[in-house]
């Protein structure tokens, strides 16, 4: 009698443990509230040593608009420190475009994982600096990983008021008098790109691209960019350039073999059919995957 009931209990325990093991391999967790299509939760990428590189050049065809001198008379300090301040929305040298934001928008690793499923990338940058120098944001275009610290410094003997204008992240604006400590902030959601203005100096403008992964770059003065440490896979790479409205963007598909490199060259300018940027509607890696398989 005693032995028989023990056997029943053992059987029950075994059954329960099987059910428990079964459910842990079951359906994926639901997505995060924002719906990133990545299964939610946190998933860390493990560096395998076979990562590759994306390089390229951003060109500008046709005649670029000439830089315009900025009237800084609203703040005498700006004119004293930076008498030749001019617009920097289209910086072209020898047909190459600086300050284009290039990033992996979407894609699939060679092992079949969507890049957006990973929330943690070892070696991702942890801090970036945005300086105000000569009543000018330096750099003009920059990238951040989600939750990366951005330190905003004021190198000018005047007051600024930093005012990012995101659509997915929290909007804020904050005064930073000369000599004030750096302002430290971060952005909790992927958003490409966030315009930043200054409430004191209407000409000041910067753009911050926030992505879930560290695979972004800003084209240098010679138009070149390099994105390192990319897992083998096939990706959609987007280059964005500011302009009227939300700017324009170009898209390229690249495939990176193990330890391989891929090239993605882009071209903007009057002679190029750039697509109006869809970035407002399609922030980086926050696209619902309904309809994808």
Q: Which residues bind Cu ion (CB under 5 A)?
A: 160, 198, 200-201, 204
Q: Which residue carries 């105000």 as its tokens? A: 132
Task: Please report how close the Cβ of residue 156 comes to Cu ion at its closest, in angstroms.
Answer: 8
User: Phi and psi dihedrals of 212, rounded to 5?
Assistant: -80, -10
Task: Please report how close the Cβ of residue 78 comes to Cu ion at its closest, in angstroms.
Answer: 8
Pairwise CA distance, residues 114 & 236, whole Å:
12
Give the residue ranges of DSSP H helices in the chain. 2-24, 76-81
Cβ closer to Cu ion: 81 or 201? 201
Pairwise CA distance, residues 284 & 101, whole Å:
12
First vs last C-alpha separation in the chain? 55
Cβ closer to Cu ion: 99 or 200? 200
Which residue's CB atom is positioned nearest to Cu ion?
198
Task: Please report how close the Cβ of residue 171 comes to Cu ion at its closest, in angstroms.
Answer: 17
Task: Please report how close the Cβ of residue 252 comes to Cu ion at its closest, in angstroms.
Answer: 36
Cβ closer to Cu ion: 135 or 210? 135
Q: How many other β-carbons are positioned within 10 Å of the β-carbon of residue 47?
A: 11
Instruction: Pull the structure tokens for residue 201.
Output: 């100096």
What is the three-class DSSP state of 7? helix
Cβ closer to Cu ion: 136 or 241? 136
Cβ closer to Cu ion: 204 or 264? 204
Residue 236: closest CA among 64, 71, 65, 115: 115
Task: Please report how close the Cβ of residue 160 comes to Cu ion at its closest, in angstroms.
Answer: 3
Pairwise CA distance, residues 269 & 87, whole Å:
17
Label residue 66 exposed, middle or buried (CB < 10 Å: 0-12, 13-18, 19+). Answer: exposed
Cβ closer to Cu ion: 115 or 142? 142
Task: Please report how close the Cβ of residue 174 comes to Cu ion at its closest, in angstroms.
Answer: 12
């Amino acid at each position: 009698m005693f032995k028989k009931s023990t056997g029943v209990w053992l059987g029950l325990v075994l059954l329960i443990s099987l059910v428990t093991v079964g459910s842990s391999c079951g359906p994926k967790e639901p997505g995060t509230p924002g719906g990133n299509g990545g299964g939610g939760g946190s998933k860390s990428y493990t560096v395998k040593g076979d990562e590759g590189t994306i390089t390229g050049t951003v060109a500008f065809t046709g005649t670029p608009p000439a830089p315009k001198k900025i009237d800084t008379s609203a703040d005498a300090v700006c004119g004293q420190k930076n008498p030749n301040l001019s617009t920097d929305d289209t910086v072209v040298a020898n047909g190459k475009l600086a300050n284009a934001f290039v990033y992996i928008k979407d894609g699939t690793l060679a092992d079949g994982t969507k890049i957006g499923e990973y929330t943690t990338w070892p070696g991702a940058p942890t801090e970036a600096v945005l300086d105000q120098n000569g009543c000018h944001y330096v750099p003009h275009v920059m990238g951040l990983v989600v939750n990366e610290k951005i330190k905003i410094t004021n190198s000018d003997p005047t007051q600024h008021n930093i005012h990012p204008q995101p659509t997915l992240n929290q909007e804020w604006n904050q005064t930073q008098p000369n000599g004030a400590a750096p302002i430290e902030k971060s952005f909790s959601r992927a958003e490409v790109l966030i315009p930043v203005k200054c409430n004191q100096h209407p000409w000041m403008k910067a753009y911050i691209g926030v992505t879930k992964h560290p695979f972004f770059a800003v084209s240098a003065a010679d138009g070149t960019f390099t994105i390192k440490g990319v897992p083998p896979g096939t990706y959609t790479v987007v280059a964005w350039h500011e302009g009227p409205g939300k700017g324009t963007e170009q898209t390229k598909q690249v495939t990176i073999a193990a330890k391989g490199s891929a090239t993605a060259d882009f071209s903007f300018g009057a002679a190029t059919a750039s697509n109006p940027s869809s970035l407002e509607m399609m922030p980086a890696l926050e696209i619902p995957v309904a309809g994808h398989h």
